[in-house]
Amino acid sequence: MSLETIRLSQTAKDQLVWLKRHTGITNWNVLCRWALALSLRDSSTPLVKEIVTDSNVEMDWATFAGTTYGHIYLALLKQRCIADGEEPTDEAVSRTLIIHIHRGVGFLHGRRDLRSISDFASLAVA
């Protein structure tokens, strides 16, 4: 597992397709960034520890993180590893990223009131 290539499960893909259709946000990476932020905001440890990345949704780190904020996402992931009692190795950071993207996608998919970009923005100030 590596940060170079981020793959998602079929369940996450299906949930992202629903989110894309209902919000008008068309890029996987944008939705996945929101999902990561939402999951990291929750201080509880995700229940799922292993994700089967069996879909065809795949993006590289540069696409996921963008050109400006990659170092911030990486620092947040390392901090979360430490907070969860793990050494922030490449493997642990990569696993943390995948687990939190998936938990966040589930959170977003469960929020049936998210119908636009402005609805997403309201999550940031909640």
State the pTM of this model: 0.90
pLDDT: is 52 or 120 the higher one?
52
Domains annotated on the chain, with CATH: 5-124 (1.10.1220.160)
Per-residue model confidence (pLDDT) at position 4: 86
Identify the band that residue 125 occupies on the pLDDT scale cut at 50, 70 and 90.
low
Displacement of CA 41 from its chain's centroid (Å): 12
Q: Which residues of 98-120 are buried (b: 16+ CB within 10 A; e: fewer)?
A: bbbbbbbbbbbbeeeebeeeeeb
pLDDT digits (tens, 9 = 90+) for 48-75: 778 888 999 999 999 999 889 999 999 9
The Cα-based distances of 81 to 12, 73, 100 in angstroms read 22, 12, 11
